[in-house]
Chains A and B, each alone.
Chain A
Amino acid sequence: MRKVAIVGAGITKFGRRDANWRDLVVEAGKALFDDVPNLDRNEVDSLFVGSAYPERWANTAHVAPMAAELLGIKPRRIVAKVESACQSGAIAIRYAWLSVASGLSDVAIVLGVEKMTSKFMNLTQSTMYIVGDREFDTVNGFTAPPFFAMVAQRHMHLYGTTREQLAMVRVKAGEYGSENPYAQFNRKVTMEEVLKARLVAPPLGLFDCSGITDGAAALLITSEERARKYTDTPVWILGGFQRTIHNSINEAGEIADWLSLRQLAKDVYDHFKITPDDIDIAEVHDCFTISEIVEYEELGFCKKGEGGKFIEEGQSYIGGKVAVNPSGGLLACGHPLGATGVRQAWEITMQFRGQVPRKRCVAGAELALAHNLSGLACMHSIMLYSLKKP
């Protein structure tokens, strides 16, 4: 396997954008090409498009060749659209990494893009709820917020996690999101705002949920042999795994315990011979405030059941045990499904380069973890990134 690095990264403003799917592709492409002035686009031999549901939200299918044309590239090794719901972007990175590592591709673009907002937000929700088992589970009226609300109920019931601890996750997200100009909600929020917000699915209110968002992000990925041609600061993709052990509610067991993530994290730490203490930055999938609390536990940053205490003690802030979501996470950045995983890699790249505002810069960071989940927390992936060459 060849060593693989991110050598370029670009992003669009996330939010309710006055731009369509195609516009977002071009905007992210422009940002990427501006970031890598030495790139001759003829060198790009592969394209991986992470985009969950353009068929529904952009009324467009077979988007990979369209994206290639919009980017002005003519890929000749792999051209693919990758769908994995909320982690479509993360899985697109995995495939690009694999293809470059194997030697099939030399220079690949990963493009994460989603257009979710429109006048018909009920259509957006109609698409979000089929991500679960629509025929037997989510037909009972639920999209993501009710499911994660039920996770929160269980977590509070079993471990004594408090409503205030959930809110603290959102306050932290606002703290860093206010320093991220690309974030959908780039302002600070107070405890009171979070606690008094309109309820979506109790106990979760509007601020406990990530946004419905338009946005795109792009990466240039290549092998060790070519990396220095494009950048002085390659971000090395160490790799990672993915795991699913159930899909339906009936097979989920205790929904406050994410066994697949617990097993996945152990698997990754063992394979790469690291411990959770070695991680400097964790960009995790905080689609809801409760998600981040469960992730602290299953990723091994604290003991099971102590996620609430972990945020209360400030351990997930920069300067704490591990800097979790210094970007502002999904809660502040918003969550354009296909773009989110790519946005996390963009964040880690900018952190390693020291190109983020000082207040949210994790000084001296050398090892970062990106975590994503999809569906009713039934599938997880982890990717490790390193500033040092492996």
Chain B
Amino acid sequence: MKEIRLPDTVPLLPIIDPWSQQDPEGPDSTRVYEFYKNLSEGRLTVQRCKKCRKIFYPPQPACKHCYSTEYEWIDVPKVGEIFSFTAMLLGFPMVFETFAPFVIAIARFGNYPENGVQIAGMMFDVKYEELKIGDKVTWDILRIRGPGEKVRYWYYFKKL
């Protein structure tokens, strides 16, 4: 008989890492790397087409309205309104279970849809019972540390 030995743990693989896309060895990993670079500099940004002037999100390397590839990154306004909300109390995906439960909201920032965005975000310092539709929220930067020395950036919502 011959025996082989299997490892007890494996690294956090991209297929279960929620933030795998922004794990760039460099800007080559995604054509919208600037979105993540902006987050690391404290800015939550969306694209505005230089040709048709419309805003689009999620990021992509061509305007989804007129398909121009000329665009600029503009900041999402700091104050928005809760459009809907819930809390994730059961059934967590891997990785999320380490910091669950938490509140999840969809909020509108700016003059949606013409000149604003409707985005989802996690909320950590508030209970589901303390929220209602229409509450004012702001976004802030979420620093994601690990595994090991790795540091990445996302955003979350805070009640105002």
Measured CB to CB, the residues of A under 8 A from B are: 56, 121-123, 125-126, 128-129, 133-143, 145-146, 149-151, 153-154, 157, 198-204, 206, 248-250, 252-253, 255
Task: Verify if B119 is at the interface (C-beta below 8 Å from A).
Answer: yes
Across the interface, do B89 and A202 meet the contact criterion of CB distance under 8 Å?
yes
Residues of B within 8 A of A201 (CB): 86-90, 104
Residue of B58, B83, B93 near A136 (CB, 8 A) is B58
Across the interface, do B84 and A126 meet the contact criterion of CB distance under 8 Å?
no
18 contacts between A and B (CB under 8 A): A122-B93, A126-B16, A137-B120, A140-B121, A141-B96, A141-B122, A143-B88, A143-B91, A145-B91, A146-B87, A150-B85, A150-B86, A150-B104, A151-B84, A200-B90, A200-B91, A202-B128, A249-B106
Residues of A within 8 A of B89 (CB): 198-202
Roughly how many angstroms separate A153 CA and B135 CA in the complex, as a whole number? 14
Residue of B18, B91, B122 with most partner-chain A CB within 10 A: B91
Residues of B within 8 A of A249 (CB): 106, 118-120
Task: Verify if B67 is at the interface (C-beta below 8 Å from A).
Answer: no
Given known A135-B21, A140-B104, A141-B100, contact A125–B117 (CB-CB < 8 A): no
Residues of B within 8 A of A56 (CB): 15
Roughly how many angstroms separate A149 CA and B103 CA in the complex, as a whole number? 12
Given known A137-B120, A249-B119, contact A142–B94 (CB-CB < 8 A): no
How would you classify the secondary structure of chain B's contact residues: helix, strand, loop or mixed?
mixed
Residues of A within 8 A of B84 (CB): 150-151, 153-154, 157, 255
Across the interface, do A250 and B117 meet the contact criterion of CB distance under 8 Å?
yes
Across the interface, do A248 and B94 meet the contact criterion of CB distance under 8 Å?
no
Residues of A within 8 A of B59 (CB): 136
Task: Verify if B74 is at the interface (C-beta below 8 Å from A).
Answer: no
Across the interface, do A149 and B120 meet the contact criterion of CB distance under 8 Å?
no
| Binary contact track B111-139/A, C-beta < 8 Å → 1, others 0 | 00100011111100000100001000000
Across the interface, do B57 and A149 meet the contact criterion of CB distance under 8 Å?
no
Residue of B88, B117, B118 near A141 (CB, 8 A) is B88
Residue of A139, A151, A153, A199 near B133 (CB, 8 A) is A153
Roughly how many angstroms separate A136 CA and B46 CA in the complex, as a whole number? 12
Residue of B21, B58, B97, B102 near A248 (CB, 8 A) is B58
* Given A122-B93, A136-B119, A154-B84, 6 additional A-B pairs, CB 8 A: A126-B93, A153-B85, A198-B90, A202-B86, A203-B86, A255-B106
Distance in Å: Cβ of A137 to nearest Cβ of chain B = 6
Distance in Å: Cβ of A66 to nearest Cβ of chain B = 21
Across the interface, do B94 and A123 meet the contact criterion of CB distance under 8 Å?
yes
Across the interface, do A125 and B94 meet the contact criterion of CB distance under 8 Å?
yes
Measured CB to CB, the residues of B under 8 A from A are: 15-16, 18-19, 21, 57-59, 83-97, 100, 102, 104, 106, 113, 117-122, 128, 133, 154
Residue of B86, B92, B113 near A125 (CB, 8 A) is B92
Q: Which residue of A lies closest to B90 (CB)?
A: A200
Distance in Å: Cβ of B102 to nearest Cβ of chain A = 6
Across the interface, do A142 and B104 meet the contact criterion of CB distance under 8 Å?
yes
Roughly how many angstroms separate A253 CA and B16 CA in the complex, as a whole number? 29
Roughly how many angstroms separate A157 CA and B135 CA in the complex, as a whole number? 14
Roughly how many angstroms separate A201 CA and B92 CA in the complex, as a whole number? 11
Distance in Å: Cβ of A120 to nearest Cβ of chain B = 8
Distance in Å: Cβ of B148 to nearest Cβ of chain A = 20
Across the interface, do B119 and A253 meet the contact criterion of CB distance under 8 Å?
no
Residues of B within 8 A of A150 (CB): 84-86, 104, 106
Residues of A within 8 A of B91 (CB): 121, 125, 143, 145, 200
Residues of B within 8 A of A139 (CB): 18-19, 154
Residues of A within 8 A of B133 (CB): 153-154, 157
Residues of B within 8 A of A255 (CB): 84, 106
Q: Which residue of B lies closest to A252 (CB)?
A: B118
Across the interface, do A126 and B94 meet the contact criterion of CB distance under 8 Å?
yes
Q: Which residue of A lies closest to B108 (CB)?
A: A250
Q: Which residue of B lies closest to A158 (CB)?
A: B133
Residues of A within 8 A of B106 (CB): 150, 249, 255
Q: Which residue of A lies closest to B105 (CB)?
A: A150
Given known A201-B89, A248-B57, contact A140–B118 (CB-CB < 8 A): no
Residue of B58, B113, B117 near A135 (CB, 8 A) is B58
Roughly how many angstroms separate A134 CA and B94 CA in the complex, as a whole number? 13
Distance in Å: Cβ of A87 to nearest Cβ of chain B = 21
Across the interface, do B85 and A142 meet the contact criterion of CB distance under 8 Å?
no
Residues of A within 8 A of B90 (CB): 145, 198-201, 206
Distance in Å: Cβ of B144 to nearest Cβ of chain A = 10
Residue of A121, A123, A202, A250 near B58 (CB, 8 A) is A250
Given known A122-B97, A125-B94, A145-B91, contact A250–B86 (CB-CB < 8 A): no
Across the interface, do A250 and B94 meet the contact criterion of CB distance under 8 Å?
no
Distance in Å: Cβ of A337 to nearest Cβ of chain B = 15
